[in-house]
Every structure is written in C-alpha cells, then in structure tokens.
Structure 1
C-alpha cells in the first residue's frame, strides 16, 4: 500500500499483485487533460490515472484467472468425448441385451390384445342387439302410456275449463254484489252528509 499527500489531500494507491506490462484501452493523456479541465491539478490527475490503471490491471488479472486455458479446455473436451463414447457403447450393449425379451413380451401382448379386441367386439355386438330389443319394447310401452296420459290430460283440461267457467260465474256474482254494496254505502254516505250539512246551515 502506498500513500501520498497532494495539496493537503490524502491519496491511497492500492496494489495487490506484481506490476506487469500494462496495455491500457483508453487514452491516458486525454484522461489527464480532461481531469485538468474539470479542475484537478496535474498531480491529482496523475494520481487518479495510476489508481484507475491499477484497478483495470487487477480486473484483467482476475478475469484471466477465472478463464480456462486452451490446453485444459481441449483435454476436458477430449475426456468428455471419450466418456460419451463409452456411455454410448454401454447403452447399445444394454439395449441389445434387453431388446429380445422386450420384443417377445411385445409380441405376446399384441396377440393378447388382438384376442381381447375380438372378444370385446362380440360382447359389444351382443349388447347392442339386447339394447335395441329393450329400446323397441320400451318404445311400445311408452306409446301406450303416452296415449293413456293424453286421455287423462284431455279429461283434466275439460275439468279445468269447467271449473274456470264456474269460477268466472262466481266472480261475476261477487262483483255484482260488491257493486250493489258500494252503491248503497255511497248513497247512505251522501244522504248522511247532506243531512249534516242541512243541520249546520
């Protein structure tokens, strides 16, 4: 760690690795000139330039340490290809050793499925015939019940019409009685009011 005092300010320069040849990707002279234009002195500008250079150099070194070298990458790639080739061979052998029993089971299952399919087809045809017969019988029964229900509905309609006619007659009688009562009440009220008016006059 290096410390300097420039015009009463304390500037620290950090250095964590050995100094190597620096390959800056920016114009250092232009950087110093711009700092001067912003109000920094030449010593302050150079100190900031050194600090930024050290930071950039350390960042580049950290980046280089995290990168995989080409030889190591080539070796790793070759090792992975060999491992994949071995795995492919093992999978091929395993597939061939287990394929014959699987094929035998598949053929057995196919014949069983075919037999079950034929049996299922027979059962379905038998069930369809039975259902058709039941449907025909049910249709005949429904027709008979429908005719009986139609007769009952007609009888019920006739009875309802008769009762509605009776109710209408009753309503007409009630209306007439109510109207007579209202006329009597209105007439009595008018006579009473006329009598009271005469007494008051």
Structure 2
C-alpha cells in the first residue's frame, strides 16, 4: 500500500529545494538542511514513507520555542507513531484476494451448510415417513385385532344366546310335559272322584230304597194290624 502524498507530503528534497529557492534568511534554511540530512540518514536504513511535511512541522516547533534537536525529535516521534499506526491498520486490513478467498470460503461453507440442511431435511422426512408408515401398520393391526375381538365376542354372545334359548326351550318342554302329567293326574283324580260319587250315590239310593221299603212294609203291617 502506497502512502498518501498531498501537497504537504512531498519528498523532502522538493521541500528543501522550494525552501532554498525562496528568498529567506540563512537561519530559516538551516533547519531544513539539518532535517534533510537527518532524513537521508534514516533513508539509508529503511525506505522512507512520508505521511506529512516533516520540515514544515520542525519549523513550526522551532517557532514555538523548541530547539532544532527537540523539534526534530518530536517530528521523528510523530512520524514513528503515525507509521506504526498505519502499519497496524494495514495489518488489520485484508487484500482483495484475501477478501475474495474469504467470500469463496463463506460460499463453500454456506453451500455445505445448505447441503447438510437439505440432507438432514430429507433424512428427517424419510424417518418421519417410515414412522408414519409404522404407525399406520400398528393402527391397521390394532383394527384387525379389534375386529377379531368383536367377532369373537359376537360369536360368544351368539353361542350363549343359543345355549340360553336351548335351555329355555328344554325347560319349557319339561314344564309342558309336567303340565300334561298334572292334567292327566287331575283328570284321573276327577274320574276316580266321579266313580266314587256314583258309587256313593248308588249306595245312598240303595239305602234310601231299603229304608223306604222297610218303612212301607212297616206301614203296611201297621195298616193290616189296624184293619183286623
């Protein structure tokens, strides 16, 4: 990343040339010459990057009462601070290639996540379908067992009803036979009673006839006796 160069952040050689070419006193030019010499000394150690006009700030600090060495030290410190800040910011920044790489990685991760979710959804759907089919099978088996139980219960009830009907018919038949036997016995008893009554009646008639005959004979004898 290149440093931002403005009208105030040009190379020191141009600044020194502008300062020297302008009509100024020797006292004004000397700080610039010293700063240019010092900057060239630092440039021999590392590539110089200018973020502000150092010579101008050295001159300003000297105008505010600092010695040339103090002004140069302050500017040096500011330059180091700004450089470190910019390098730190550059360290936190990413290049376009890294951004595209991260974007591609995110797209791949999103596609993988989408595929995983779709696979999970399909798996859940298959599991749910299998569970639903299993439940339907259980319900069908339960319905079949219920139908069999109902059929068995109905058959048992029909059998019990038929047995009860048979028992009732047998009991009715027995009662009918008993009633017929009772009727027969009653008829026999009535017949015997009639025979007994006829015999008693005949005996009564015989007794009455005998009594009447005896009474008549006595009357006749009595009449004959009075007649003589």
Does the TM-score normalized on the shorter chain lie above 0.5? no
* Structure index of larger Rg: 2
Larger relative contact order (Cα-Cα within 8 Å, sequence gap ≥ 6): 2
Identify, as 1 or 2, the structure richer in strand. Answer: 1
Short-chain TM bin: 0.3 to 0.5
